[in-house]
Amino acid sequence: MSNFNASRRRVLKTGAIAGAGVALPTIFTASSAAAFTNEPTGGTVTLGFNVPQTGPYADEGADELRAYELAVEHLNGGGDGGMMNTFSSKALQGNGILGKKVEYVTGDTQTKSDAARASAKSMIEKDGAVMITGGSSSGVAIAVQGLCQEAGVIFMAGLTHSNDTTGKDKKANGFRHFFNGYMSGAALAPVLKNLYGTDRVAYHLTADYTWGWTQEESIAAATEALGWQTVNKVRTPLAATDFSSYIAPVLNSGADVLVLNHYGGNMVNSLTNAVQFGLREKVVNGKNFEIVVPLYSRLMAKGAGENVKGIHGSTNWHWTLQDEGSMAFVKSFGTKYGFPPSQAAHTCYVQTLLYADAVERAGSFNPCAVAESLEGFEFDGMGNGPTLYRAEDHQCFKDVLVVRGKENPTSEFDLLEVVEVTPRAQVEYAPDHPMFAGGNLGACNPGA
């Protein structure tokens, strides 16, 4: 049996030395490779572009991918620099991000939440992507945003218009540049009032999923505030192709405005069916019957052809804008690909530059540092006027466009014309607005 003679002084001394020994490596490794998920250690950094490459939005996904490739080219110093020349922040130098050459991997969301999560997971775990971006659906955006939050990487959303993305489903690691349903309502309402008056009866046909519900709520609230009545809100299956049996009841409903809360193929088919049934020639309540498509997409409008003529809606951005940033982007994109970019391409390009800029300003790829750098960031020169990335919900606030199907298009791209650029102040709302209630941004997760 051995004797152990411990004095109080000796115990304290030993404890202090042991404590310092344990603490020392942590202090020294605070910025080491294990500090956050997929910290780039070599001369390159990998971004993950998660877009629909198959499925109904594959063409929109292809345009997003073109924009991402253009953004990577510009970040690495290639091409004419595009919007990097007009961006108000001058942190980007065309030498990659923090001096690391930008590389990318792509995933296919298939516009299915589970497939999108699987491809994002693969890009994070196998390819070491430090940021995920893309998508053409709110259901997908919300699913991938949740995954990125858990994995500890930044998610820069692509085309997602549901209020929920930065409302009840918002996450600290997720950021949205695209506008939302509330903003569409706020931008459209004054234009609709001027065009159609305050005494109108509206009938909503709504795609039965998160985006459709929040847009319907937003547009109904905005038009009812004008004095319009909402006579009916009918949910239509996402898989519906022939909307004739949903359009027919509109004819005898007493409504004089049809609001189509549809996107993509749904929008093309429901609008085509509504025009076929002669709604646009009808006179109801002594007024011409009108159709409104709150969220327009030029790529989708092409499928509806002449049926879009004279029909109003809203959009995040349009290639005919004459500000310096938009013109620079259209020139870069058009020279490289031979046609003008879509709004989906624009938001994806801008999101990539915004992420890269935030990293440069933060001096780190750590998602929490990047998030802090993006929160409350004010910028300009990216095509939508002065813009704020609001800290409270990670939603961008900027001007919103009201557009109309062009009566006499001069080319296959010239389908929409900008009717009004709605100023940012008109589409802003409080972070605790009831339409965005119920969510919690939570804390940033650096992962690792």
Partner 1 sequence: MDAILLQILNGLDKGSAYALIALGLTLIFGTLGVVNFAHGALFMIGAFCAVTLQRILNLSFELVDETQKDFLGNPLKVKTPYVEAWFGPDIGGSIIDWAVPLAILFAIPIMIGVGYVMERGLIKHFYKRPHADQILVTFGLAIVLQEVVKYFYGANPIQTPAPDALNGVVNLGAAIGMDIVYPVWRVVYFFFAVLIIGGIFSFLQFTTFGMVVRAGMADRETVGLLGINIDRRFTIMFGIAAAVAGLAGVMYTPINSPNYHMGMDFLVLSFVVVVVGGMGSLPGAVLAGFLLGVLESFASMNEVKSLLPGIDQIIIYVVAIIILLTRPRGLMGRKGVMEE
Instruction: Name the one residue in this structure whose structure tokens are 């004089």.
Output: 256
Phi/psi class of residue 310: alpha, beta or left (left: φ > 0; alpha: ψ in -120 to 50)? left
Should residue 229 be labelled a site residue for partner 1 when binding is judged by CB under 8 A? no
Q: Taking a C-beta distance cutoff of 8 angstroms, is the pair 291, 308 a contact?
A: no
Should residue 109 be labelled a site residue for partner 1 when binding is judged by CB under 8 A? no
Q: Taking a C-beta distance cutoff of 8 angstroms, is the pair 369, 363 a contact?
A: yes
Residue 277 CB, nearest distance to partner 1 (Å)? 6
Among 134, 340, 367, 447, the residue binding partner 1 under the rule CB under 8 A is: 340
Strands 201-207 and 400-405, bridge-based pairing = unpaired
Residue 58 CB, nearest distance to partner 1 (Å)? 4
By C-beta, is 348 or 359 nearer to partner 1?
A: 348
Structure tokens at 294: 């709150």
Among 272, 324, 361, 418, the residue binding partner 1 under the rule CB under 8 A is: 272
Contact mark string toward partner 1, 235..264, x via CB under 8 A:
--x-x-xx-xxx-xx-xx------------
Q: Taking a C-beta distance cutoff of 8 angstroms, is the pair 191, 377 a contact?
A: no
Per CB under 8 A, the segment of 212-220, 273-281, 356-364, 417-425 that binds partner 1 is 273-281
Contact mark string toward partner 1, 275..314, x via CB under 8 A:
-xxx--x-----------------xx-xxxxxx-------
Contacts of 4 (CB under 8 A, 6+ apart): none
Among 50, 269, 314, 343, the residue binding partner 1 under the rule CB under 8 A is: 269
Residue 390 CB, nearest distance to partner 1 (Å)? 33
For the chain, the straight-line distance linking the first and the last C-alpha, in angstroms and rounded, comes to 46
Contact mark string toward partner 1, 393..412, x via CB under 8 A:
-----------------xx-
**How many distinct helices (H) and strands (E) make up the chain?**
13, 17
User: Between residue 50 and residue 89, which ones bind partner 1 under the rule CB under 8 A?
Assistant: 54-60
Residue 125 CB, nearest distance to partner 1 (Å)? 28
By C-beta, is 44 or 245 nearer to partner 1?
A: 245
Contacts of 205 (CB under 8 A, 6+ apart): 234, 236, 243, 246, 247, 250, 258, 259, 260, 261, 262, 270
Helix (H, G, I), strand (E, B) or coil at 284: strand
Rounded CA separation 387/328 (Å): 18
Per CB under 8 A, the segment of 77-85, 99-107, 267-275, 350-358 that binds partner 1 is 267-275
By C-beta, is 131 or 328 nearer to partner 1?
A: 328
Rounded CA separation 380/292 (Å): 30
Instruction: Name the one residue in this structure whose structure tokens are 């020349």.
Output: 85
Q: Taking a C-beta distance cutoff of 8 angstroms, is the pair 201, 256 a contact?
A: yes
By C-beta, is 142 or 279 nearer to partner 1?
A: 279
By C-beta, is 281 or 407 nearer to partner 1?
A: 281
By C-beta, is 3 or 410 nearer to partner 1?
A: 410
By C-beta, is 155 or 263 nearer to partner 1?
A: 263
Rounded CA separation 298/141 (Å): 21
Q: How many CA atoms lie within 13 Å of 422's alpha carbon, on the beta-carbon side?
A: 25
Should residue 268 be labelled a site residue for partner 1 when binding is judged by CB under 8 A? yes
CA distances (Å), origin 229, targets 74, 175, 258, 403, 409: 49, 35, 12, 23, 34
Rounded CA separation 181/322 (Å): 25
Should residue 330 be labelled a site residue for partner 1 when binding is judged by CB under 8 A? yes
Q: Taking a C-beta distance cutoff of 8 angstroms, is the pair 283, 390 a contact?
A: no
What number of chain residues touch partner 1 (CB under 8 A)? Answer: 48
Q: Which parts of this chain interact with partner 1 (CB under 8 A)?
A: 54-60, 232, 234, 237, 239, 241-242, 244-246, 248-249, 251-252, 265, 268-269, 272-273, 276-278, 281, 299-300, 302-307, 319-320, 330-331, 334-335, 339-340, 410-411, 413
